Amino acid sequence: MLRFSTLLGAVALSFSLAACGDDGGSEDSSSTSADSSESSEGESGDTGPSACEMDFVTKDNPSAEDAMTDFGTPCSTDADCSALGTGATCYTDVLGVFELPGGYCSKPCALPDTNTTFINDAEDCDPNGGVSCVGAAGVFTACARPCSEDSNCSREGYGCVRMPVISGPDDQTFCLMNEAECCLLDDDACSAPP
Mean pLDDT of 26-52: 42
Beta bridge partners of 70: 72
pLDDT in tens, 71-110: 999 999 999 999 999 999 999 999 999 999 999 999 999 9
pTM of the predicted model as reported, rounded to 2 decimal places = 0.71
Evaluate whether 71 touches 144 at the Cβ level (below 8 Å).
Answer: yes
Catalogue the E-assigned strands of the chain: 89-94, 98-106, 118-119, 132-136, 140-144, 146-147, 158-161, 173-177
| pLDDT on residue 192 | 54
Neighbours of 108 (CB within 10 A): 19
Q: Where are the domains of the chain?
A: 2-19+49-70+106-190
Confidence of residue 51 (pLDDT cuts 50, 70, 90): very low
